[in-house]
Homo-oligomer: A and B are copies of this chain.
Amino acid sequence: MSTLSEEKVFRDPIHGYVRVQDKVVWDCIQTREFQRLRRVKQLGSTSMVYHTSEHTRFAHSLGVYEIARRMINEVEDISRTLTEYEKITVKLAALLHDVGHAPFSHSFEAIMNSDHELYTIQIIKEESEVNKVLKEYKDTLPTDVASVINGTHPNKILCQMVSSQLDADRMDYLLRDSYFSGTKYGEFDLERILRTMRVADDKLTIKASGTHTIEDYIMARYHMYWQVYYHPVSRSYDTLLQKVFKRLFDLYKQDKGIALKLPMFKQLLEKKQLSNEEMYLLDDSACFYSFNLMSQIDDQILADLAKRVLNRNLFKYTSVDKKEEIEQRCLEKGYDLRYYFHQDYQSQNPYKPYSGKSQCIWVLEEDGSIKELSTVSTIVSSLSQNDSYEDEKIFFPKEVL
């Protein structure tokens, strides 16, 4: 049977309740791979700036599912257009889109051998509890869920719902990250967006009367990037994490023995693709426990960097035009620039007009024509033509000042 005898709910400050009616969704949530997301924070480094941003990928994943579920139930065009099987497929894709995520948001991927999408697909399609639950529902379900997540599903509406510039994923994280950080920058009018969604010409579109609401959403993204995600303190913490792992990998090249002291990273050090079992064990607690171990290790640089991570003894930052002066000071104080100096460039475009049919935001005019958002919004057009939303900084120990 595919429907639960009674709707199950999760209390959620963003959505009131996350509502589960399908048995296969409920069973996916109970799997060990999905429960692992309780131990992976949504925003690894942001909690160094906004200290209450402690929420997990578990909560976010439920939220993305809930927005997808509401699109299906409340947007009449979607409700009518999709088959029952497509509805289940897209709800599960929303739920599972982050199931292969490593700790520390995207900054960990730099040191892993591949990105989180690859592991997500691996968990869905290869041996795992998630895979078992999906196959029990229907043999083709793992493949179809995976194809929505990597954007290759033939029905582009499903892809737009889960992965586009106006998808359930972005909509949940902007609202959620705002709520838990205690800022208001990411708030926008989700209710109105749901009310103005239409399907036209096989695309998900927004009625022209909702254009201002979408402009507000684009601006919310813009502000969250600069005020939260790309905040220099957050980037400073990311820098430290990367330096810790750079030092660890460099030490491993000289002496394989270090892997015995840090068993949680054995496969990573060996540059192997992790199995689903190994991925299951890689969570925030493994990382933080490893930092505790590293802080007691007999390599001075690794121990120092690990302590900095644990005790929030972050690098300072300044404008890139002081690069030479700061490098010089670091050298004078005996800091190894490979581990104690970093130049970081970030740029962000709040909306990309030329990102393809399943990525763009489409506006449905009253006369039935469909236009790409930046052609009807002066503000979005201004925003997307400009490429100066960027920032470059250098990071270094405060002890050099």
Contact = CB atoms under 8 A, between A and B. Distances in A.
Given A182-B12, A212-B227, A286-B289, A52 B47 contact: no
Contacts of A311: 30-32, 35
Interface string A388-399: 110000000000
Contacts of A52: 11-13, 55, 59, 180
A50 B182 contact: no
Given A11-B183, A283-B292, 5 more contacts: A12-B182, A13-B180, A285-B285, A285-B287, A379-B383
Contacts of A212: 223, 226-227
A54 B59 contact: yes
Contact of A56 (B54, B213, B281, B313): B54
Contacts of A378: 386, 388-389
B286 A292 contact: yes
A181 B11 contact: yes
A35 B184 CA distance: 26
Interface stretch (A108-116, A188-196, A330-338, A351-359): A188-196
A187 B379 CA distance: 19
Interface of A: 9-14, 16-17, 30-32, 35-36, 38-39, 41, 47, 50-52, 54-56, 58-59, 62, 179-185, 187-189, 191, 195, 212-213, 215-216, 219, 222-223, 226-227, 264, 281, 283-289, 292, 307, 310-313, 378-379, 382-383, 386, 388-389
A13 B183 CA distance: 7
A48 to B, nearest CB: 9
Classify the interface of chain A: helix, strand, loop or mixed: helix
Contacts of A11: 50-52, 181-183
Given A38-B51, A62-B51, A285-B288, A185 B189 contact: yes
A54 B59 CA distance: 10
Contact of A288 (B47, B283, B389): B283
25 contacts: A10-B51, A13-B182, A17-B191, A30-B311, A32-B307, A32-B311, A36-B310, A38-B47, A51-B59, A54-B54, A54-B56, A185-B189, A187-B187, A216-B223, A219-B219, A222-B379, A264-B289, A283-B292, A285-B287, A285-B288, A286-B289, A286-B292, A289-B289, A378-B386, A378-B388
Contacts of A283: 288, 292
A35 B292 CA distance: 13
A189 B10 CA distance: 14
